[in-house]
C-alpha cells in the first residue's frame, strides 16, 4: 500500500511538473506574426488589397497578424532571413533567393490557382501601341524599363529567357533602366521614358497593366485615361511558377500547419477577403513545396554567374 501511494505521488509530481510545458502552445512564443509582401504595387494599393486578409488570419489563428508592405524585394528577403518576418509573399525568383540566403529556412507552402485553373504566371514585355516596334528585334538599341533585380517577371525571367532566345538585355538594348516597381515600369512606358517595359501577366484581363488601367492610374500626356488598346504585348515568357507564400521552417510544426490550413480555408471561410487579394481573379490556394521552385533556383544561379563574369 505504501509503495502504491509512493508511486502515485511520483506520477502526480511528474504530471504537475510537465503540465506547464504541455499547456504551452506556439501562440505563447509567437503572440504576433508578421506577414510581409514584396512591392508588386504601391503601398496604398497593396494595403487596401491585403488588410482584410491579414484580419482574417488574425481571427483564424488567434494571434495578431501584422501586415508589412516592403519598399523593395530585398527587405522581405533579409527580413525573413533574420527571422523578423514569419510569412512572406514572393515572386518565384525572390523566394529562391530567400531560401538560399536563409540556409533553407524559408520554405514555400501555398500559391494561388488562376481563374482558368492554371497555376503560375508570365513575364511579358509591352510597348505603346503607337510605337513602330513589333518584335524584340525591333527594339535593338532602345531603352527597356525593368522593375527590381529580385523581381522574377520584371528582371530575372526577361534576362534569362531573352538571352536564351538570342537577345541578351545588356547587349541588345541601349539601356535597361530599373524603375523600382511594376507600376513604375508601366508609368515610364506610358510617359515615353522607356521604349518598352517588362511586367507580370496572368491573362488578358488579369495583369498589372489591367489592374492599373481599372484604377485609372495610367494617363496620356493630356491627362486622359489610357486603355488596354494603347499598349501592345510584344513578348511573353514560358509559364513561371506561381508566386509563393513562404514561412520559416524552424517554426513549430503545429504553427505551420495552422497557418497553411488558414490559407487553404480562406476561399470558403472569408471569400471576400480572399477575393480582394486578386480582384476576384484567383479561385483558391494550393499547396507547394521547394521542389516546385527548382527552376527558379537554377535561374538565380545563372544570373549570379552572369554578374560574376561582368565583374
| Percent of the chain at pLDDT exceeding 70 | 91
Confidence of residue 5 (pLDDT cuts 50, 70, 90): very low
Distance CA 1, CA 61 (A): 48
pLDDT one-digit tens code per residue, 203-239: 999 999 999 999 999 999 899 999 999 999 999 999 9
pLDDT, greater one: 7 or 301: 301
Asked whether 80 and 285 are in contact (CB, 8 A), the reply is: no
Average pLDDT over residues 62-87: 95
pLDDT one-digit tens code per residue, 153-162: 999 999 999 9
Average pLDDT over residues 27-49: 85
pTM above 0.85, yes or no: yes
Asked whether 187 and 42 are in contact (CB, 8 A), the reply is: no
Asked whether 93 and 156 are in contact (CB, 8 A), the reply is: yes
* Placement of cell 497555376 in the chain: 119
Check pLDDT > 80 for residue 12: no
Amino acid at each position: 500500500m505504501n509503495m502504491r501511494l509512493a508511486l502515485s505521488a511520483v506520477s502526480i509530481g511528474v504530471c504537475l511538473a510537465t503540465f506547464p510545458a504541455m499547456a504551452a502552445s506556439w501562440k505563447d512564443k509567437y503572440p504576433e506574426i508578421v506577414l510581409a509582401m514584396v512591392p508588386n504595387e504601391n503601398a496604398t494599393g497593396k494595403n487596401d488589397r491585403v488588410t482584410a486578409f491579414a484580419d482574417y488570419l488574425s481571427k483564424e489563428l488567434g494571434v495578431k497578424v501584422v501586415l508589412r508592405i516592403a519598399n523593395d524585394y530585398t527587405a522581405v528577403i533579409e527580413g525573413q532571413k533574420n527571422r523578423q518576418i514569419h510569412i512572406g509573399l514572393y515572386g518565384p525568383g525572390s523566394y529562391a533567393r530567400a531560401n538560399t540566403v536563409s540556409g533553407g529556412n524559408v520554405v514555400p507552402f501555398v500559391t494561388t490557382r488562376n481563374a482558368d485553373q492554371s497555376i503560375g504566371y508570365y513575364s511579358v514585355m509591352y510597348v505603346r501601341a503607337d510605337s513602330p516596334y513589333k518584335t524584340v528585334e525591333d527594339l535593338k538599341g532602345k531603352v527597356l524599363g525593368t522593375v527590381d533585380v529580385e523581381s522574377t517577371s520584371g528582371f530575372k525571367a526577361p534576362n534569362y529567357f531573352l538571352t536564351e532566345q538570342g537577345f541578351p538585355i545588356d547587349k541588345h538594348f541601349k539601356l535597361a533602366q530599373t524603375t523600382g516597381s511594376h507600376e513604375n515600369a508601366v508609368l515610364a512606358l506610358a510617359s515615353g521614358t522607356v521604349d518598352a517595359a517588362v511586367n507580370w501577366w496572368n491573362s488578358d484581363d488579369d495583369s498589372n497593366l489591367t489592374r492599373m488601367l481599372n484604377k485609372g492610374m495610367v494617363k496620356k500626356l493630356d491627362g486622359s485615361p489610357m486603355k488596354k488598346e494603347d499598349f501592345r504585348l510584344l513578348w511573353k515568357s514560358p509559364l513561371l511558377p506561381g508566386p509563393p507564400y513562404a514561412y520559416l521552417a524552424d517554426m513549430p510544426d503545429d504553427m505551420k500547419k495552422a497557418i497553411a490550413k488558414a490559407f487553404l480555408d480562406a476561399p470558403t471561410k472569408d471569400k471576400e477577403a480572399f477575393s480582394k487579394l486578386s480582384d476576384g481573379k484567383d479561385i483558391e490556394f494550393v499547396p507547394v513545396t521547394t521542389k516546385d521552385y527548382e527552376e527558379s533556383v537554377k535561374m538565380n544561379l545563372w544570373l549570379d554567374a552572369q554578374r560574376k563574369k561582368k565583374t
